[in-house]
Chain A
Amino acid sequence: MLKHGDRSPAFHPASAPDYLPLRHLRELQTSRLRSVVERAWAKVPLLRGRMDESRLGPEDIRSLEDISLLPFTTKSDLRDTYPFGLFASPMKDVVRLHASSGTTGKPIVVAYTQDDVDVWTSVMVRSFAACGVHHGDIVQNAYGYGLFTGGLGAHYGAEGIGATVVPISGGNTDRQIMVMKDFGVTVICCTPSYFLHLIERAAQLDVDIRELPLRVGVFGAEPWTGSMRKRIEALSGIQAFDIYGLSEIIGPGVAIECPEHDGLHIFEDHFYPEIIDPDTGRVLHDGEEGELVLTTLSKQAMPMIRYRTRDITSLIPEPCPCGRSLRRMKRIGRRSDDMLIIRGVNVFPSQVEAALLEVEGTLPHYQIVLRRAHGLDQIEVQVEVTPETFSDRIGALEELHSRIGDALEHVLGIKVEVTLVEPRSIQRSEGKAKRVIDLRVAS
């Protein structure tokens, strides 16, 4: 049951590229692919070296199918070239830098020229338009502002569509609810788990979100499920949309759900998708499940050629009833590596290891326990006490406890609950400890 204001959205002119005839779309993709490969080959030594190794020049890329000749780019390429090694523009042309967490404490840096920011804004405008957001809406942007791409990405898009933006950023739940109520907010952007938390807290404050003007939620930055959507929609009366993106490609706005809520349309005039077998690298057909690989077709400051997202999905071959010619991907359910997404933040177990190693000198047995409480992801790291770290003095153990907590927070960028546990209390399986216990109910 959806609320007032639920009407089929007026067509927004910015959405025109969503409906390009397929032949035209493929032509556009082909010409953009050729120029982005040329640019990356000319400006990014890493890519040029790899293409040289395969005796490949930019002139060998003539059709979209030729993309499979190109080498992949991985997250470790970004790490290894930290901070600016993959830039294809001189710094004077770069108008913005963002960063996301890396596995060794060093973040991954991404860059935008003014044209890149304009493309980003345009895909976010098209995303909001697909969600039925329009001029006159009041958008509460509860994504974090800062180095994380979520906040500014949604901000520019919402302004671009002519909405009123409330740049409240993340956190301070009671104030979020007050603003939502007092400002007459009609659209909210945040992670789905945080919105569930907002609903619960609002109920405690005697605020029924179903009675507020709030109409649309644009939720992303973490995987969620269909049943979570049902719960959100039933409890709040809003329409919930899934948005997908990653900093390495541009930020939020790589793909968006339309009102059919059956897969996410990839803005493939800018981000060309492939699905590959994560083990062999072989390109799979539409409909087959594998790892999503994206190539930025128009990015200047930091072109990404065949970037391996590690997200597992498939491309839906059938056209969407909404009329968009952009292919859809299924919502992301899992990843092909061990990356965890906690409150929208990327966390690798190897980061936890690095922090523990730094504090203790040797790696103790540890376990990461993930829970969801009040709609918010909680991360606990249990660390076994060792003969080296144990002390008969309470103060020394408490200091160890807080040093571990500080080191983890420093590396991960989020608050972590640390528990010191008895030796051998963490279960070993086949000689190797199971590092991650995910108790977040996938519902």
Chain B
Amino acid sequence: MPNQSPPTRYSAVAQGFHWIIAALIVVQFSLGWTAEFLPIGARKLARLDWHKSFGMTILTLAVLRLLWRLFNRPPELPPGMTKFERQAARATHVLFYVFLFVMPLTGWMMSSAKNYSVSWFHQFTWPNLIGPNEQAFNLLRSTHDTLSWLLFAVAILHILAALKHHFWNKDDVLKRMLPFTKSEKRS
């Protein structure tokens, strides 16, 4: 069917990507931010070990998600949104995709620069992206750290916007991303 009309809900695949990655990001924040306050030692190493394995999982999912997204259009934004709201929504979503790549990549490069190769749950080791370099590590570390705060801010904005759509506008923007719900068909 050529002129297929856009879907009214996010598909199961889109929802799967969204919620699995969202959950992993929550895990990443709790591991990353708590590891930062631990002294150098076995506990910090173990926590960052998990952080790296989950980070590489997110990066892999991000690649798959982007590929999938290129061939599958999402449902359209509800009518009645202003131009600014549409642009803000679009910008937020684009930013999320950027974060999904930049966060793991800066983390991966950080590990490489410090000569700590990244393992994936002790199953295999990813290649180093750059050679050992302390200056590069310090720069990447502050970048990774700053971006984590930005991601946190964008995530809060995203959540507030979804809640505003649901409770204030009373549209199906939130519901169509929720499994086990039904969205009303728009004509």
A-B interaction: no
User: Which residues in A have some Cβ–Cβ distance to B below 8 Å?
Assistant: none
